[in-house]
Structure 1
Amino acid sequence: MMSGMTPPSAPLPATSRRIIVTGCDHAYFHLVTELIASVRDHADTPIGVIDCGMTPHQVAQLTARGIRIITPHIPDYAPKRAVRKRPSLAINISKLWLDQMLPEFDLILWLDADTWVQDGRALEQMFAAGESGTLAIVPEIGAKIANLLGVRWICPGWMQIRSFLYKNASRARLPFHIRTRIGAKPLLNAGVFCLHRNATIWPVLRRWQARILPRRGMAFTQDQLCMALAVYVDDQPVTFLDNSHNYLGPWLLDERTGQLANLFFPHAPIGIVHMASQKAMRSALDNTMAIPTIQGGTAAVNLRYAGMRGLSRRASGP
């Protein structure tokens, strides 16, 4: 748990009623099928997909595989025009309503459509971290970020904060004292998180959402901003997990195993791969990038599950 945060008043009961949830439209369907396949390599946990524009054929494919199809929740205060223009925005909006959308489940693990599971232990650790009612999430303070705080130097001794949280809090027209309170804090990446249905943070997240979401252009980023506000301003309980549970790079390959490895020594296998900002590779397996290897070489790889699976199979041999 983060230092200084208030723990839940009492531990929540252990439960096996858990679900893994993601969401997609027709364009991200191929990524969701790979995410599902990667989860099934390690666990038989129920999986749900929020449908924000899949075709009837795609829905039928998932249903035939036993995947639960979930209707998004759009609150009255959501910007209707923005959601009509870009239906996938309903995924980020719905994240903060999962406890009400899935009342029959107690532990809810969210995985963005552009993630996949390389090491199943990461799933179990995410569920374990969320069991007590804290927000189980990964802060962006790892190897991905060389400069922990984005700044623009104006002149010697003067700089302007350029962090994600400060910029988005400013766009949401939040008061200056709130912007300064969260502006230098690490972003809590909402691409992977776990929460108990009875966690105290849910209504707090929605209070912030009701304040932020109607502001122009906030629909895509409001989920991460709401989580940061609930944790850093309202002192909601949080459990931080290391970057292997939501790994965004820098990328490193272990040629011996054909797996993606953590940049930090001893270069353990990454648990959950997150392909944020990797548009070219997400769109086609033929698109690759050159990444260094633990053994000192360089390899051209596609970071998707389908691309990495071939490497790991060749590394394991006959």
Structure 2
Amino acid sequence: MAAPDIARQVKETAFDKGIFPWACLVPMMPGMTPQAPCAIPPATSRRIIVTGCDHTYFHLVCELVASIRDHADTPIGVIDCGMTPEQVERLQAQGIRIITPYIPDYAPGRAIRNRPSLAINISKLWLDQMLPEFDLIMWLDADTWVQDGRAMEQVFAAGESGTLAIVPEIGAKIANLLGVRWICPGWMQIRSFLYKNASRARLPFHIRKRIGAKPLLNAGVFCLHRNATIWPVLRRWQALILPRRGMAFTQDQLCMALAVYIDGQPVTFLDNGHNYLGPWLMDETTGQLANLFFPHPPVGIVHMASQKAMRGALENTMTIPTVQGRQVALNLRYAGMRQFQRNRSETV
């Protein structure tokens, strides 16, 4: 079915007839226990890795592509939301598929015109329709890169059965698990990502209450089979949330959380090494970024969210501890780590 046909289908849902989608939801799964996977056959031969960028993130996409190619020859697609013609030609010369974003007609046109890269997050929920010739689709944000190829294979394997393969933010983060604002002793206000964004989307309190204390499902890395049951559920929530002011940037993660925690769509959780956001640690014996949790295995997929300075220039570094108890200044980008490893090998 073509993407416009899906858009029409979204408009014909109970929501568009005045019945809100939560009126007919299946029961939420108990706790954090994933539901049984859907009966979908493995699809290892028709798979693709997809990312997206504008001209400012092009250098990061080039590094992401190089890091993938270090481990696999899996087809790669890039959603073009503002690259220059020269940048497009460079990717195409490497055999990279250039993908036009899909923007449903309920999307906020002015916001996308002012910030075209928002179309990347919107398109994430339409990848099964945008890429009908592929069965298994892995998404990697432009500010990620692959350090250990086994992580890619594990993400693909987790998505083969039709579940949403994704990393919940409950890993080794030195931060409060749940954002709260203390009002007075015994009273606090929930300030989690999901609660705040559900409030901005003007979802009813009983929805906010059910997702507010749940872990964020980080949409920077995920995998789905094109026949997964979650796709239309994601788009139903998108049709509700996206037209509301200020929701374009974060709607993908909110839609995924709602589909899993409210609709009970099947999910397979991967550990934080498959979408590692820190805290940062390096193993001097291997020259690789290591997981904070003992025994400190190599990080599989590095995600440089909130690392604006390092994303912008390789000369920008941060001092991080090593497994061996020392400290080292690093740029966490693929190119930065490759340069560090070259310098390291020359001094050994």
TM-score class normalised by the smaller sequence: over 0.9
Aligned residue number for residue 120 of structure 2: 91
Aligned residue number for residue 340 of structure 2: 311
1:267 equivalent among 296, 301, 306: 296
Aligned residue number for residue 24 of structure 1: 53
Aligned length: 318
> Does structure 1 conserve the Cα–Cα contact (< 8 Å) formed by 2:77 and 2:97?
yes
**Do structure 1's residue 65 and structure 2's residue 125 form an aligned pair?**
no
Q: After TM superposition, list the pairs within 5 Å mapping 1:143-154 onto structure 2.
A: 143-154=172-183
Aligned residue number for residue 200 of structure 1: 229
Specify the SS of the correspondent of 1:228: helix
2:312 equivalent among 251, 273, 283: 283
Q: After TM superposition, list the pairs within 5 Å mapping 1:1-318 onto structure 2.
A: 3-316=32-345
Where does structure 1 differ by over 6 angstroms across 4 or more consecutive aligned residues?
none
TM-score, reference length from structure 1: 0.97
> Does structure 1 conserve the Cα–Cα contact (< 8 Å) formed by 2:38 and 2:161?
no
Aligned equivalents of 2:86 and 2:230: distance in 1? 37
CA RMSD in angstroms, aligned pairs only: 1.3
- Shift in Å, 1:255: 1.5
> Does structure 2 conserve the Cα–Cα contact (< 8 Å) formed by 1:258 and 1:314?
no
Aligned equivalents of 2:263 and 2:246: distance in 1? 24
Aligned residue number for residue 3 of structure 2: none
Q: Quick one: structure 1 residues 300 and 77, their matched pair in 2 at CA, closer, same or farther if it must change by over 3 Å?
A: same
Aligned equivalents of 1:87 and 1:159: distance in 2? 38
- Shift in Å, 1:226: 0.1
TM-score, reference length from structure 2: 0.89
Per-residue CA deviation, residues 83-132 of structure 1 (Å, 9 max, x unaligned), is: 00000000000000000000000000000000000000000000000000
Per-residue CA deviation, residues 7-36 of structure 1 (Å, 9 max, x unaligned), is: 244243443100000000000000000000
> Does structure 2 conserve the Cα–Cα contact (< 8 Å) formed by 1:50 and 1:70?
yes
> Does structure 1 conserve the Cα–Cα contact (< 8 Å) formed by 2:168 and 2:218?
yes
Specify the SS of the correspondent of 1:192: strand
Aligned equivalents of 1:50 and 1:177: distance in 2? 36
Per-residue CA deviation, residues 190-229 of structure 1 (Å, 9 max, x unaligned), is: 0000000000000000000000000000000000000000
**Aligned-pair identity (%):** 85
Unaligned runs of 5+ in 2: 1-28
Return the letter of the residue paired with 1:312: Q
Unaligned runs of 5+ in 1: none
Return the letter of the residue paired with 1:173: R
Per-residue CA deviation, residues 172-197 of structure 1 (Å, 9 max, x unaligned), is: 00000000000000000000000000
Specify the SS of the correspondent of 1:141: coil
